[in-house]
Structures are given as structure tokens and as C-alpha cells.
Amino acid sequence: MAHRRGKSSREIRKRREKRHAFVRAMIKLRKELQKHTINALKREYREQKWKIRTTYLYYRNSTITDIFRDIWFDRYHDLMETYRAFREMDLKTYVKTILKLIIKGHSIRFDYRRQYTKEEVELYLMYLDKWLQHMEFIKRMSETAYLGIKPDIPDFGAVLGLAELYYAPLRHDECHSTASAIKVTDLSIKILTGHKGTAYVIISGAFEHIGWNPYTRRADTNHGIEPFFIILMGKKRKGERLSLKIGSGAGVIGKDMKVVLCSNNLRIPEEELTIKQILDNPNELLRLRAESIGMPESATKLKPCSVYVVLRPTEYGRDRRREIKIIQGMRFWEKTDKTYFKNII
């Protein structure tokens, strides 16, 4: 019978350590797997429910003064933490941080313009051979105040696609307007240059960022009459998006044409920029229009629909804009009524 060699205490200690390490690894793995089980999800749901219940009991047993005090204390604490973080920065880090915030905010605010430019370039390349012809048709629509397109015209799909992008009555977003206006962009300004027309500036936003509120004081008492007329013309509720169109000048269209962006309650112009400046920096459009409605803090919440122009009617356009029969009848009655002539004499 062979004699079995006895194990040393060192080997026994190593084997025990390996066994304990294996047990610890199994326990750790079991805990990781338990996080994805049904019981773990139930436990997480109970914790969230208890947190909501605790918050509800806190607000139910608190007064309005306590709630506002907590809100303002948290806001003050966050502002002080931000202030201390900026105080501890050196000048180079401070400038880099500010530039990053400006670039990020600019990219978020003008995502609409980036998407619009992308669609415009895609349509331009798609209809490159007939783009000028289709845009001439849209110009004729603006001159004759047409609000729709007949399906029997040649290249109906291409004309309709461009009209939904440039022509205000056919737009499907909040930049829609009943005025027969054409949007001014870097591409459309090339065919609009030299024509006579009236310029309009359109912005859009939520009702609480534009609408007139009797409980909120305006930043300047000489501004803010435009949102007041919005309330008179139509009922808008909180959360609803609306557009604000205002006439901003007339003349020969071109990049050097000046457009009024800020005016007081008496419609006296205060700030104006050229179309080229507006196209290069739409941030100025938002800033000045927010000042004009008396709410400069809304500049970061509004959407720039850009500048739209209504072309003046040509001879053909004036023939299409005929007077309706009621107005013609009233003028005929004024010319033939004897009492009317006696009062004038």
C-alpha cells in the first residue's frame, strides 16, 4: 500500500484562500444578477413610490411660504455654487467655459435654421435645372395673391414642394401666414433682388412668451402693444404656439434693404437692420423683436421665421385683384345719390 504524502500548512492555506475568493466572486455575481430580477424591479418601484409619498406629505403639511422659501433657497444655493466654481477658475479656463456655453446654446437655439437650410439645399439640388422657373411661378403667386396651386400645372409636385418651403400661405408649421409672402433666404434673395415689395418679420413661440399678460409688467412701457392685440383678435391658451407678423418696411428688395425690427407703441422705428445682417446673424432678429414686444427675456425662447416679402402687384396682378361687387355697388351709390353730393358741396 502506497503511503500518501501529507499536505503542508502552506498548501492548505492557499487552497482555503482560493475557495474563499471563489465564494466571494459567486456572491458578487449573485448580487449583480439580482439587480435585474423582478424582485429588484419591485423594490425599485416601492422606493420610488415611497419617495413620491414622502414628497406629497411634505408639501401637504407645509405652508405656501415654506414651499417658496425652499424653492428660492435651492435656487440661491445653485447660483452660489455656480458663482464659486467660476470664482475658482483661472482666466483661461473661464474664457473656454463661456465659449463652450455660447456655442452650445447657439447650436440648440438655431437647430430650426440648420434643418431648414438642409431641406432648402436638398430641394435646390433636386430641381436644379428648373429651380429658377419654379421660383418665377412662386413670384407670380405672390404678385397675384394666390393662396393655392392647381394640380393641373406642369411639374405640380416640384412647385408644391418649393412653395411649402418658401410661400407663407402653404407652410405647415407655425411660420404659416395668410399674407402672400415669400421667405427671404440666401438662395431666394437672388431672384427677389430688384423687385418692389413690402417686408414682414415673423417670429413664433409659445403663448406665455409672446402673449400679453395683465399681471406681468413689461420691461419698457413704450413697448408691448403688439401682443395686446393678439389677445383681442383671437383667443389663445397657455402652451399654444403662435406667430407674430409685423410690417417692417417697403421698397426695392435687396441685401441692403433696411428692415425695422424694433418699434414702440406708436409704431415709430427704433432699431433697423439690413437683410444681409439679419441673414448673417438671426440672433439680432430675436433680440430686437423680443425688445419690441416688451419681453427681452423671451429672446432665447422664440423661433426666428425670418423675413418675408410680399411683392407688389404687376399689371397682371392688379387685374386679378378686382374689387368685389359690394364695394363696386357702394361706390356707384355714392356717385349717383343726390344727398351724398349735397353734403360734399
DSSP 212-263: --TTS--S-TTS-HHHHHHHHHS---TT-EEEEEEEEEEEE-STT-EEEEEE
CB atoms within 10 A of CB 170: 19
pLDDT value of residue 326: 53
**Count of C-beta atoms within a 10 Å radius of residue 14:** 11
What is the reported pLDDT for 281?
Answer: 82
- Residues pairing with 246 in the sheet: 201
Q: What pLDDT, on the 0 to 100 scale, is given for residue 308?
A: 93
Comparing CA positions, the residue from 271, 285, 289, 293 lying closest to residue 218 is 293
pLDDT for 302 equals: 82
Cβ-contact 197, 310 below 8 angstroms:
yes
Whole-number pLDDT of residue 121: 83
Q: What is the pLDDT of residue 293?
A: 84
Q: What is the DSSP letter of 189?
A: H
| Single pTM value for the model | 0.58
What is the C-alpha to C-alpha distance for residues 228 and 318, in angstroms, rounded to an integer? 34
Using 50 as the pLDDT threshold, list the residues of the chain that sit under it: 1, 3, 315-324, 340-345
Q: What is the pLDDT of residue 328?
A: 59
Return the domain boundaries, the chain.
Answer: 111-319
Residue 318's alpha-carbon distances to 211, 218, 313, 315, 322, in angstroms, are 36, 42, 6, 5, 7
Which is it for strands 258-263 and 196-206: parallel, antiparallel or unpaired? unpaired
